[in-house]
């Protein structure tokens, strides 16, 4: 097994661009997934059977099908009919491929984030809700002013972990030509006929992105738990 990094002087821009694109994919996916995830979580907690069924069905379908299939359906199906302009961002990110990937990743992530939010809401003591209702608050006011602010402390660490997961899972976007990190590695492999070097470099860069984020999340979680121990 021959490992060489002699490709770096000529092909390092592909890896740099890939890191930038990967981080952008993860960041915008998390932002786009939060709002529908909140709605899905509230629908699942609702006593309305129709809303509950719709939320359950969506979450189970999304969690029960591969992300690769979902990206293909969004890109070749929905955006096959709605053509986006081939506009380039930063000179290397094609909007026509980037936006469908963000939407597909956000749809997938929203199902998982919805369960995170639902668990965070259920973790809030039921007595908090009963006390708020006894003061004359409506269900909506109670959720907005009492439950959700307390649930955020439980939700934030898991949301951070979802961001870390998306950094890694965004590699699947290379299958439709998005210039993220894995796409740069595959491009380098095809041009140089070197296999292990580009793959090991891509793995190292993924680790460099996810490891500091994981440590930061662990630190923030410890800080947030300090008040619970008092």
- Least Cα distance to 174 among 159, 160, 190 occurs for 190
At 101-157, the pLDDT tens digits run 999 999 999 999 898 888 888 877 777 777 777 777 777 777 777 777 777 777 877
Q: Which two tokens stand for residue 157?
A: 């660490």
Q: pTM to 2 decimals?
A: 0.83
* pLDDT of the residue at 62: 92
Q: Which of left, alpha, beta for 90 (phi over 0: left; psi -120 to 50: alpha)?
A: left
Q: Give the closest residue to 180 by CA, choosing from 87, 97, 112, 79.
A: 97
Share of residues in the chain with pLDDT > 70 (%):
97
The residue whose two tokens read 């595959």 is 186
93 sits in which H/E element: strand 93-94
Neighbouring residues of 210: CB distance < 8 A, sequence distance ≥ 6: 164, 167, 168
- Exposure b/e, 35-65, CB count within 10 A at least 16 = b: ebbbebbbbbbeeeeebeeebeebbeebeee
CB of 56 closer than 8 Å to CB of 136: no
Retrieve residue 127's tokens.
């007595």
Per DSSP, the three-state class of 124 is coil
Cα–chain center distance at 102: 9
- List Cβ neighbours of 171 (8 Å cut-off, separation of 6 or more): 22, 180, 181, 182, 206
Work out the average pLDDT over 11-36.
89
Here the tokens at position 100 are 């469908």
Query: For 115-129, what is each residue's pLDDT tens digit?
Result: 888 888 887 777 777
pLDDT value of position 85: 78
Q: What is the torsional sign of CA 218, 220, 223, 229?
A: negative
Confidence of residue 84 (pLDDT cuts 50, 70, 90): confident
Mean of all residue pLDDT scores within the chain: 84
Residues facing 93 on adjacent strands: 89
| 38 has a pLDDT exceeding 60 | yes
pLDDT band of 227, cuts 50, 70, 90: low
pLDDT of the residue at 61: 92
Q: How far apart are CA 111 and CA 59, in angstroms?
A: 5
């Amino acid at each position: 097994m021959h490992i060489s990094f002699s490709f770096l002087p000529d092909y390092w821009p592909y890896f740099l661009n890939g890191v930038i694109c990967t981080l952008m994919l993860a960041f915008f996916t998390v932002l786009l997934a939060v709002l529908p995830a909140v709605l899905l979580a509230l629908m699942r907690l609702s006593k309305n059977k129709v809303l509950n069924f719709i939320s359950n069905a969506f979450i189970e379908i999304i969690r029960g099908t591969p992300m690769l299939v979902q990206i293909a359906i969004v890109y070749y199906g929905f955006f096959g009919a709605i053509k986006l302009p081939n506009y380039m961002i930063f000179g290397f990110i094609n909007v026509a491929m980037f936006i469908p990937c963000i939407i597909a990743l956000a749809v997938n992530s929203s199902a998982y984030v919805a369960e995170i939010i639902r668990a965070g809401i259920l973790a809030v003591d039921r007595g908090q809700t009963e006390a708020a209702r006894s003061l004359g608050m409506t269900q909506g006011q109670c959720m907005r002013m009492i439950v959700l602010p307390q649930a955020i402390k439980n939700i934030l660490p898991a949301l951070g972990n979802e961001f870390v997961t998306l950094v890694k899972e965004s590699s699947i976007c290379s299958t439709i030509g998005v210039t993220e990190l894995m796409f740069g590695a595959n491009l380098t492999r095809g041009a140089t006929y070197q296999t292990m070097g580009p793959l090991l470099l891509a793995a190292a860069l993924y680790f460099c992105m996810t490891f500091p984020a994981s440590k930061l999340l662990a630190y923030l979680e410890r800080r947030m738990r300090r008040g619970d121990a008092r």
